[in-house]
Chains A and B, each alone.
Chain A
Amino acid sequence: MTTEAAIDSGVDSAKPSPAKSKRAGIVEAAVRIKKVSKHFGMKVAVDDLTMYVPTGMVYGLIGPNGAGKTTTFSMLAGYLAPSEGQVEILGFAPTNVDALRGKLGVLPQDAMLPASDTVGEFLVHMARLQGIPRVKAMSKSREALEEVEGKDWWKVRCGALSHGMAKRVALAQALLGDPEVVLLDEPTAGLDPRVAYEVRQLIKSRKGRCTLVVSSHNLQELEEICDAAAILDRGKLVASGTIAELTSSTEEVHFRVAPPLTPPGAKIPLDLVRGIPIVKLAEYDDLRGELAVHFDRDKADAETVIESVLRVLLDQRVRISGVSKGRGLEQRVMDLT
């Protein structure tokens, strides 16, 4: 199964179900959501959502407020039961904690740590509950705490931690015992830039070791750390795919033009750009000062297109202040939601 197929929003009935794969000893989709809806009274928070996340990916859940990503996340973590449809983590319902013990780690967004426990007590208790033997629970907990740069907090009461420290302790409990699937809800929300950077590095360092599902408002962050993402709006899936697909980075490049054009009154040489054989379409946005060039990814890669178009623009003395592949996740989300 290719990555592109695996992250497609549709579910092909011909594909082996996780249950079948499990019997064969392989679980292709670490996370599977099939025709899931969630109603809160008359309000439909998630509507007939189908998606699945292949094993080993860092997958983003994206959407504006009210898009349904927190509800989706909560159903993945087993906090909420779907009104309709089926949610599976590694082939099991999220509420089947015995089957998923030690294999699923979750960082909930707004869950407070128990104020009366020390960080050490909390982590050791969590480690014991996920099946780590007593003799190893302490060392595993210390390792997890060290990973989030919090080794000095062992004896600090959770109630005395700052927001950023508490977030990192919560992250440590999610990563305890190297779970196969880790769900992270707004992992860097409220963190200062340095700590947020460290958390992103930590998530990146987990790539390939586990499957990560990250729900976040921070689109630049998701673009940086995710391999693929699903964009939700009003409870529905509006797009999904690899980050490259979502941002069209393999079929679109953007050139930011530095004003003023030289000589004054000159125009962007659109005809010359359109005349490049590998260019399918070229458009200039006056307001943004941006030239968008579309190309056929089967005929050329983005770098070749950049080289060809830059050559034309520079020959025409157009000053370029930046070049980017694709539209950026943020722009894509703005277009879709």
Chain B
Amino acid sequence: MNPLLEVWLIVLREARKNLRSVKGLVMLSLSVLGAMACTFRIPKMEEGLEAAQKIGADQLHDAKAKFFADMYGSDSAGERLADAPVKLVILFFLAVWLAPLLVAILGFDGVPSDVQYRSVRYWTVRVRRSSYYVGKFVGLWFVVSVITLVMHSLIWGVTIARADASAADTLAWGIRFYLISLPISAAWCGIATLVASLLRTPILALLLICATFFTLFFAGGIVGRSQHNEVLQGIYPNGYDAWMLSTDLRHAFIGLAITLGFAVVTTAAGAFVFSMRDI
């Protein structure tokens, strides 16, 4: 059997299992509630900003550009985002920021619970272990992507319905933001699946995933950024959103390649270790 078919069958099962599990439904509900909260809160923020500063559209554009440039540490990204509907930018920011949490909660028990309860033994006599592992990774990524898409779609709908932005602008920016969030969540999924697969106990896996994510955030997002240390910044997947938002295509491509590289390297390493170990 083609390994891709093996992976596909595993992914289908993972999607079915997660999307109808209590955990999956709770995360989906929380994501939707979060998106709805943003929908109603952000217009007030926009109006407040405009009213408080008594500024016009051009000045608001510049203020947004500066704000987003500071937020992402990139003038190019700031300038680009200033044209986008604020609601979508904030949602994108939140989606990327919260992706590790979503990934940790959805992915901590994928491999460890199968190993702990030895259910994995039903699979390993039928599929290559590497296919099983890759299926777990892709399945997690798929579920995270579906939940994120639901969240994004809700905001798109509300933005269009309230005429906060044109349908064309909303979809163009919305789809772009969604697509940029995918490689970043893939990187987190790769790391989470690798870390979790090293353990047999799901709760320990959750703790280790959270510790790993926090370490990456602290080292890359806090220390690296404050000290302008590119190596440290480079280990934090969320830091690549600014790269992919850049107007410089080369820059955007490097950001994409590095985030996908995270996913590929961690998945390859995890699949290798999983193939070698006793289960």
A116, B13: Cα distance in complex, Å: 11
With contacts A106-B125, A111-B119, A126-B122 taken as known, whether A79 is within 8 angstroms of B17 at the C-beta atoms is no
Residues in B with CB closer than 8 Å to A113 are 119, 122
B126, B129, B278, B279 pick with most chain A CB within 10 angstroms: B126
Q: Are A79's CB and B1's CB within 8 A?
A: no
Return B7 CB to nearest CB of chain A, in Å.
Answer: 11
A98, B129: Cα distance in complex, Å: 11
Closest B residue to A104 by CB, please name it.
B125
A158, B279: Cα distance in complex, Å: 22
- B residues 239-271 with Cβ under 8 Å of A? none
A-contact bits for B129-161, CB 8 A (1 contact / 0 none): 100000000000000000000000000000000
Q: Are B121's CB and A108's CB within 8 A?
A: yes
The answer, among B6, B118, B119, for a CB contact under 8 Å with A129, is: B6
Closest A residue to B125 by CB, please name it.
A106
The answer, among A80, A94, A117, for a CB contact under 8 Å with B278, is: A80
Q: Are A129's CB and B126's CB within 8 A?
A: yes
The answer, among A105, A114, A129, for a CB contact under 8 Å with B127, is: A129
A126, B121: Cα distance in complex, Å: 12
The answer, among B114, B117, B126, for a CB contact under 8 Å with A130, is: B126
A-contact bits for B196-220, CB 8 A (1 contact / 0 none): 0000000000000000000000000
Q: Are A97's CB and B126's CB within 8 A?
A: yes
* B128 is an interface residue with CB less than 8 A from chain A: yes
* B124 is an interface residue with CB less than 8 A from chain A: yes
Q: Are A116's CB and B21's CB within 8 A?
A: yes
Q: Are A112's CB and B119's CB within 8 A?
A: yes
Residues in B with CB closer than 8 Å to A97 are 124-128
23 contacts between A and B (CB under 8 A): A74-B278, A77-B121, A77-B125, A78-B125, A79-B121, A79-B278, A95-B129, A97-B128, A100-B125, A101-B1, A108-B118, A108-B122, A110-B118, A111-B119, A114-B17, A114-B114, A114-B122, A116-B17, A117-B17, A121-B16, A126-B126, A129-B1, A129-B6
A112, B16: Cα distance in complex, Å: 19
Interface size range of chain B in the complex: 20 to 34
A-contact bits for B97-128, CB 8 A (1 contact / 0 none): 00000000000000000100111111111111
A131, B125: Cα distance in complex, Å: 12
Closest B residue to A183 by CB, please name it.
B125
- The number of A-B residue pairs with CB atoms under 8 Å apart is 70
* B9 is an interface residue with CB less than 8 A from chain A: yes
* A125 is an interface residue with CB less than 8 A from chain B: yes
A94, B128: Cα distance in complex, Å: 11
Query: 3 tightest A-B contacts by CB?
Result: A111-B118, A112-B117, A129-B126
Return B136 CB to nearest CB of chain A, in Å.
Answer: 13
Residues in A with CB closer than 8 Å to B126 are 97, 101, 126, 129-130
* A234 is an interface residue with CB less than 8 A from chain B: no
Q: Are B125's CB and A128's CB within 8 A?
A: no
The answer, among A81, A98, A125, A128, for a CB contact under 8 Å with B128, is: A98
Extra pairs beyond A111-B119, A112-B117 (13, CB < 8 Å): A78-B124, A79-B279, A94-B125, A95-B129, A97-B126, A97-B127, A98-B1, A108-B121, A112-B119, A125-B9, A126-B126, A128-B9, A130-B126
* A211 is an interface residue with CB less than 8 A from chain B: no
A94, B121: Cα distance in complex, Å: 12
Residues in B with CB closer than 8 Å to A250 are none
A110, B121: Cα distance in complex, Å: 10
Residues in B with CB closer than 8 Å to A173 are 122
Closest B residue to A94 by CB, please name it.
B125
A105, B114: Cα distance in complex, Å: 19
Residues in A with CB closer than 8 Å to B118 are 108, 110-112
Residues in A with CB closer than 8 Å to B120 are 111
- A residues 68-119 with Cβ under 8 Å of B? 74, 77-81, 94-95, 97-98, 100-101, 104-106, 108, 110-114, 116-117
With contacts A98-B128, A116-B17, A116-B21 taken as known, whether A111 is within 8 angstroms of B9 at the C-beta atoms is no
B125, B127, B276 pick with most chain A CB within 10 angstroms: B125
Residues in B with CB closer than 8 Å to A95 are 129, 275
Closest A residue to B1 by CB, please name it.
A131
Return B43 CB to nearest CB of chain A, in Å.
Answer: 40
Residues in A with CB closer than 8 Å to B278 are 74, 79-81
Return B123 CB to nearest CB of chain A, in Å.
Answer: 7
A-contact bits for B1-28, CB 8 A (1 contact / 0 none): 1000010010001001100110000000
Residues in A with CB closer than 8 Å to B1 are 98, 101, 129, 131
Residues in A with CB closer than 8 Å to B123 are 129
With contacts A98-B1, A116-B21 taken as known, whether A79 is within 8 angstroms of B124 at the C-beta atoms is yes
Closest A residue to B116 by CB, please name it.
A112
Return B113 CB to nearest CB of chain A, in Å.
Answer: 9
B-contact bits for A240-257, CB 8 A (1 contact / 0 none): 000000000000000000
A105, B126: Cα distance in complex, Å: 9
Return A82 CB to nearest CB of chain B, in Å.
Answer: 10
